[in-house]
Amino acid sequence: MKGSNIEVLGTSFLVKSYNDDDDIDILLEEGSVNFSTGTNSSLLKAGQKLKYSKKTGVLTVKENEDSGNYKNWRNNIIVFNNNKLAVVLKTLNRWYGKNFVIKDKEITTPP
């Protein structure tokens, strides 16, 4: 998480931060987390979700409308709701350490 820092303050949370992703996502289940970069800082409270754009430096915090994803992730369950196929494949590649390839390009092309 080059250039950013997370201070854990007695909590349970999920962080998604990969070098090849444009965003850092933090979903806080309980407790609090302080997220900071060189120019931005935010204290998250239970039930909130933070998104930080590494490209633009924009940081947004909102109430998490789907805390079930956190519980699913902790139980090794991946749930996809209205995600693009590219996002699904990227997640599966990371989760299983395999490279999933779609041979039929027609299903990856929007109508």
Same domain, residue pair 71 and 85: no
**Mean pLDDT score, 25-38:** 86
Domain, as residue range, for 107:
80-111
Same domain, residue pair 70 and 43: yes
Q: Which helix H or strand E contains 48, and what residues bound it? A: strand 48-53
If pLDDT is split at 50, 70 and 90, which confidence band does 110 have? low
**76-109 pLDDT per residue, tens:** 888 888 888 888 888 899 889 999 888 887 777 7
If pLDDT is split at 50, 70 and 90, which confidence band does 34 have? confident
Same domain, residue pair 10 and 63: yes
Between CA 14 and CA 91 the distance in angstroms is 15
Same domain, residue pair 9 and 59: yes
